């Protein structure tokens, strides 16, 4: 998404899938400080209402890292974790 695009709660901006050489469904996304993927630096993504689990320890997290399992903890959105694609 560029800085002029906006999203709203519950609006899909991506799909999760399992294609290629993977063991489970996942989504890739990246934020950059410029237009070129190759000539710009990646930026951290900040999240709200997320629990991150790593090495058996779970904590609230604003920033997530490789190897963590994450779960949305915002009240009322629990159904997203059990949703199946129609």
- Cα 20 to chain center, whole Å? 19
* Dist CA 23 CA 40 (whole Å): 30
- If one counts every other C-beta atom within 10 angstroms of the C-beta of residue 52, the result is 19
User: What are the percentages of helix, strand and coil residues in the chain, rounded to 5?
Assistant: 5, 25, 70
pLDDT score for 55: 92
The domain segmentation of the chain, as residue ranges, is: 31-82
Q: Give mean pLDDT, residues 33-48.
A: 89
* Dist CA 53 CA 68 (whole Å): 5
Q: Indicate yes or no: pTM above 0.75.
A: no
Query: Could you report the per-residue pLDDT of 63-82, keeping only the tens digit for each?
Result: 988 889 888 887 655 444 44
């Amino acid at each position: 998404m560029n800085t002029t695009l906006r999203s709203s709660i519950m609006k899909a901006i991506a799909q999760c899938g399992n294609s290629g050489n993977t063991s489970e469904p996942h989504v890739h996304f990246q934020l950059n400080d410029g237009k070129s993927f190759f000539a710009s630096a990646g930026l951290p993504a900040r999240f709200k209402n997320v629990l991150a689990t790593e090495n058996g320890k779970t904590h609230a997290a604003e920033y997530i890292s490789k190897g963590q399992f994450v779960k949305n903890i915002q009240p009322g959105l629990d159904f997203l974790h059990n949703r199946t694609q129609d």
